[in-house]
Amino acid sequence: MLFGGKGSIGLDIGSSYFKVVELKNIRTGFELELFDMLPLPPDLIVDGSIIDSFRLVDSLKELIRKARIKTKNAVIAISGHSSVIIKRISLPEMSEEELSESIRFEAEQYIPFDIEDVNIDFQILGLEEEPGQMDVILVAVKKDIINEYVSVVKEAGLNPIIVDVDAFALENMYELNYEIESGKNVALVNIGASTINMSILKGGVSVFTKDSFLGSNLHTEALQREFNLTYENAERLKRGEPVEGVSPEDAYSIVTAASEDILGEISRSFDYFKSTTLNEDINEVTLSGGCALVKDFPRLLASRVGVEVKVAEPFKNIHIPKKFDISYVEEMAPMAAVAVGLALRRPGDR
Ligand SMILES: Nc1ncnc2c1ncn2[C@@H]1O[C@H](COP(=O)(O)OP(=O)(O)OP(=O)(O)O)[C@@H](O)[C@H]1O
Ligand SMILES: [Mg+2]
| pLDDT of 189 | 98
Q: Residue 348: pLDDT band by 50, 70, 90 thresholds?
A: low
Q: Are residues 230 and 121 in the same domain?
A: no
User: Are β-strands 73-78 and 9-13 bridged in parallel, bridged antiparallel, or unpaired?
Assistant: parallel
Domain holding 106, by residue range, is 84-140
Tell me, in angstroms, the distance from the centre of ligand 2 to residue 129's CA. Answer: 37
Tell me, in angstroms, the distance from the centre of ligand 1 to residue 235's CA. Answer: 9
| pLDDT of 81 | 83
Q: Are residues 308 and 320 in the same domain?
A: no
**Cα dihedral 71→350→18→219 (10° resolution):** -170
**What pLDDT, in 10s, does the model give residues 210-266?**
999 999 999 999 999 999 999 999 999 999 999 999 999 999 999 999 999 999 999
Q: Are residues 156 and 190 in the same domain?
A: no
**What pLDDT, in 10s, does the model give residues 21-74?**
999 999 999 999 999 999 999 999 999 999 999 999 999 999 999 999 999 999
List 73's β-bridge partners, or say none.
Answer: 159
| Whole-angstrom distance, CA of residue 220 vs CA of residue 224 | 6
Q: Are residues 173 and 59 in the same domain?
A: yes
Atom of ligand 1 nearest to the CA of 191: 18
349 has a pLDDT exceeding 80:
no
Q: Are residues 147 and 14 in the same domain?
A: yes
Tell me, in angstroms, the distance from the centre of ligand 2 to residue 13's CA. Answer: 7
| pLDDT of 350 | 58
| Whole-angstrom distance, CA of residue 166 vs CA of residue 149 | 14
Residue 233 sits in a domain of what CATH number? 3.30.420.40
**Residue owning the nearest CA to atom 16 of ligand 1:** 192
**What pLDDT, in 10s, does the model give residues 163-213?**
999 999 999 999 999 999 998 999 999 999 999 999 999 999 899 999 999
Q: Are residues 96 and 214 in the same domain?
A: no
State how many domains the chain has: 3
Average pLDDT over residues 3-16: 83
Q: Are residues 111 and 214 in the same domain?
A: no
2 has a pLDDT exceeding 50:
no
| pLDDT of 4 | 41
| Whole-angstrom distance, CA of residue 192 vs CA of residue 215 | 6
Tell me, in angstroms, the distance from the centre of ligand 2 to residue 194's CA. Answer: 8
| pLDDT of 1 | 37
6 has a pLDDT exceeding 90:
no
Residues with CB under 6 A from ligand 1: 14-17, 192-195, 215-217, 220, 235, 238-239, 289-291, 293-294, 335
**What pLDDT, in 10s, does the model give residues 111-163?**
988 999 999 999 998 776 778 899 999 999 999 999 999 999 999 999 999 99
| Whole-angstrom distance, CA of residue 56 vs CA of residue 50 | 8
Atom of ligand 1 nearest to the CA of 335: 18
Residue 96 sits in a domain of what CATH number? 3.30.1490.300
**What pLDDT, in 10s, does the model give residues 316-332?**
999 999 999 999 999 99
**Residue owning the nearest CA to atom 15 of ligand 1:** 290
